[in-house]
A and B are shown apart, each in its own frame.
Chain A
Amino acid sequence: MDADNQANIKKIAEEDRDALNKIIVVLGAGDIEGAEISAETVTVGDPSFAGPLAGVSLRLPVYHILEPELKDVIPEDIYEENLGIWTMTLDINEIGKRFRAIREKSSNA
């Protein structure tokens, strides 16, 4: 995740503490490994130690837009129009499994 986005996310998390319990991060990476790195950045900190979130543990709940938990509550027509093709490209159950593990690890950290 680039430095500018890290800085903006850090600022949002620090400025709006009242809303912090309502904030979620939603990713749209096209590969699972890349998504996991971004997820780690907004939970336990930038793993490359290059950006503003290096060593900063925001522990924000992070999701991938293709996770089944999100699909269940997004209107079907909107989902199909915007994401349908991606469900044929990526394993959404594997994505769900990996992101649940990331959230669990973050909440236990």
Chain B
Amino acid sequence: MKIAHFADLHLDAPFRWAGPDAGRQLRDRIRQTLRNVVDVALEQDVDAVFCGGDLYEHDFLTPDTESFLVRAFADLGDIPVLLAPGNHDYFSPESAYARADWSENVHLFTENRLEPFDLQDGVTVWGAAHLVPANTPGFLDDFSVDRDGINLALFHGSERGWFTDQEDGKQPHAPFDLAQIGEAGIDHLFSGHFHQPKTKPLLTYPGNPHPLSFGESGERGLVIATVSDDGHISRETIGVSPTDSHDIRVDITGLGHRDAIRDQIESQLSSLSGIARVTIKGELAPEVDFRLTDFDDVAAHLDAVVVRSGDLTPGYDLDQIATEETVRGEFVRAVSNADLPSVDRDLILTIGLRALQGRDDLAVV
């Protein structure tokens, strides 16, 4: 039996770092990701498609996306689609889960306790739903299966052992311990919530299939799990995102003008596709006049580019200037000795030294 499992798609999620235009484009890419999930599931001739929650964003879901979602799952024909609402798409009478006219192959878990679904003879899928956006208790607490055969589980939850390893800001929704899976008689738990993909013998977190932010690593996407008759799981992850995410650092040390910096950025982005975050770092030559907004239109072939300044040091011989018995020397000494964040210190030095040079291009922020 083959199961296609994904989670944390976050349809209609706002991309706060991208702005409205790129954000809309990326939301379209997330839709494309779901279409790819459907295509791969059909190609792989899976027996069921699981979604481990956070399929969409409750607060942002548009009618158009809701309609698209219904159509996408309907395209799977007779292949059962099991949906376990998460904290971002919790089930409620007002939710799209309750509103939409799902095709018959879609089964929705709507209780905040594990409920059985007979996927096949001898194969039971225990699923549960988040009914509120926060403070959902653990589904595996005091739970054990009541039947023989293969018992799989599907819900959106936080494995406590990994919680501290996960990205900042994650709340321990529906927490559970790894040991609880086996103790409950579950042969394998297909889950969602952590965007960082992780696998254990009894647990699968597929990660968010489409990039939601930068710095995401690990093989992520649609997990094709083959369940043997004894409940053993073998997994394969297939990328389904049409968007690559790149985190690029551009060193501008030695670059004497903004066109050179632009060339450097475009050079590093020219062969890429998808979305990119460019962090400008290095020594900012004193004569270089640029602002981050100068690069808003760089690499137009990408879906979105975010240019930010990183570890950008002023291109001055600060040690030398600090020896001067001048206002400039005193300024550099004072700023260097001040208790400031390094980024602020470098920017203040750049602004002050440029001002002392009589320039009007004082800041890059």
The answer to whether A and B belong to the same complex is no
A residues with a Cβ closer than 8 A to B are none
B residues with a Cβ closer than 8 A to A are none
